[in-house]
Structure 1
């Protein structure tokens, strides 16, 4: 009995020793697996090089520059990066909401402007230092020889990388529809106008985009029922660049623009992007819009009324030569980038002085289709008189016509009284190919 107890104790001790060894081994393995994570340094703050907010106090720029340098110097061990010439001469796209443009290729240099997300720029030089790579780009600033520098980290080489569904626009059937060479011969366009963030600027701002598309489709159906052999295509007309005091321009957020382009594409709806120019040259305003032509349902517009540094105090204008130059740039961009289909270029007029030398405007910048749109609010008689006057410019045969919905009786809110019916609009001479409701 005593022997058996001793033997049992011995066995028990051995078992306990084995268990102890296993526990120690397991603990050691666990600790070894965890140690690389424990030794990893904390995440570094990303160098954004973004533009200052307008509300920041004077002197913030110097503080921002110093903070940016500090970030560059605290990114850990500096490893030289070889510069590649592949990017020189190519186009890149800004990938953050606002990116500073600097006088030189470093974070201490003076900020000479900024670029918004989606902006297309051409790289003319690349400088890679230990802490960062900078691109020298073409930038509209005469003081610095129309050049500037941007931090390359906040650019992409393909604009499709800026949104979540890059294959969305790969629908062949939809693309063939939007880029048909006879699209505007076979169809009348009915568009809803405005800015998503403004109810006063037009109907676009009074409804969510899904509801807006449903509404414009219903209006298009009314026209389609009385449009003879032609069909009707619905469209959304967005004011992409909105004039501000002193002719400054507020640019619509890139992601907001793309959300409308995508939703419209999925529903067979066209998109027009309009730039009011302000104090900017027409060609510079157009270049803000050109990258969006890569989407098959997008068309462009400029509004001469707001081409001024005194908005609401004077009516701006375009010249025939400027309209031709814009068409030329648009045509060359489409051809060089392999953009398919005809694309409309719309400009508005409600008084003669808005277009100087209109007889000089050419309609021969294929594949661009210029659209001479009758704008202005008021009575049917006044609007018809304006359209009749615009019709004398037979060198621009494709005409448009704008109508204004009632929204409010508040001062400064305009509308047509009464609103012309679809039958009355289609009976205009010449019959408009583009009909816009604001």
Structure 2
């Protein structure tokens, strides 16, 4: 696993080195025809109350891409992860349309049990680094134009956008608050990656990161408040977990209105190894948290064939989010 992290970071290092219109209606009366007369009855009375303005149409309620306002149990989430570096996954910035077409081919295999798949684009929006970076926090934040491009691509394909946070030496809540502008959108959620959350004196990729249930809970509480404030549909918060040690005191992660929390098990290897990791990591999942499962096109297939959708859907508990990298 440590070799995977260092390999991923080698790729990261390479990557880093309205005017008004003349056609508007006017209230000025037109000229009077020659010879025409006007009577007092033709003139508006100063005592006459003004006519009521037409009642404006109410703004439509914000919804998910398919018009729904809730996620589970009607839907299953299936998505690709990625970013500006090809090392980040299938969701390569240079070929978002190609990734969408590939994802479309996979989706029907995850609808065999009657669930409707809601596609997901998981963008690595805050990227951990093995060097201090300008902030000294060993992470960088993707520019607004990058996030905007991915959001536009997601909307074109009626997908959710999840912003993945690798905080380095920063804190999850601090970094999530940097993304508030985007989280106020109805189709944007979060993915938290504690493997890349390290303390002072530690370096991402050299030290296995971790978080706590309490820290995850603070993020969920913050997002829940945004949902209420903006009257938004339900939001997803995924936290990725590759090993039991990555999240401590998981029971401190509570339920919050308007937020669906998913625990994604990120084990790598052959099917038997991934299922063994699944059994260990999923055992500590709180009852109100949904199960998720991650597949790796390259790392998994070095050890055997990639697990099929049928094999993924045979896991217990049933995965509600399936992510491909």
Q: CA separation in 2, counterparts of 1:271 and 1:240?
A: 11
Q: CA separation in 1, counterparts of 2:245 and 2:316?
A: 22
Which residue of the partner structure matches residue 378 of structure 1? 269
TM-score computed with the length of structure 1 as normaliser? 0.56
Higher-helix-fraction structure: 1
Q: Structure 2, unaligned stretches of length 5 or more?
A: 1-15, 18-58
Q: Does 1:322 align with 2:212?
A: no
1:402/1:435 contact within 8 Å kept: yes
Determine which structure has more spread, i.e. the larger CA radius of gyration.
1
Q: Secondary structure at the match of 1:175?
A: coil
Matches within 5 A, 1:16-415: 175=63, 177-178=65-66, 180-195=68-83, 197-205=84-92, 208-224=95-111, 226=112, 228-244=113-129, 245-246=131-132, 247-308=137-198, 309-336=202-229, 338-362=230-254, 364-392=255-283, 393-406=285-298
1:377/1:415 contact within 8 Å kept: no
Q: CA separation in 1, counterparts of 2:151 and 2:265?
A: 25
> What is the Cα deviation at residue 281 of structure 1?
1.2
Q: CA separation in 1, counterparts of 2:213 and 2:222?
A: 14
Which residue of the partner structure matches residue 38 of structure 2? none
Q: 1:290 to 1:415 in 2, by over 3 A?
A: farther
Q: CA separation in 2, counterparts of 1:342 and 1:175?
A: 9
2:82/2:89 contact within 8 Å kept: yes
> Whose RCO is larger (CA < 8 A, sep 6+)?
2
- Map Cα deviations across residues 345-398 of structure 1 (whole Å, 9 max, x no partner): 111111111001112221x21111111110131111111112222332233430
1:342/1:369 contact within 8 Å kept: yes
TM-score computed with the length of structure 2 as normaliser? 0.74
1:403/1:416 contact within 8 Å kept: no
Which residue of the partner structure matches residue 109 of structure 1? none
Give RMSD over aligned pairs: 2.6
Q: 1:288 to 1:414 in 2, by over 3 A?
A: farther
> What is the Cα deviation at residue 278 of structure 1?
0.4
2:78/2:107 contact within 8 Å kept: yes
Q: CA separation in 2, counterparts of 1:173 and 1:213?
A: 27
Runs of 4+ off more than 6 Å:
none
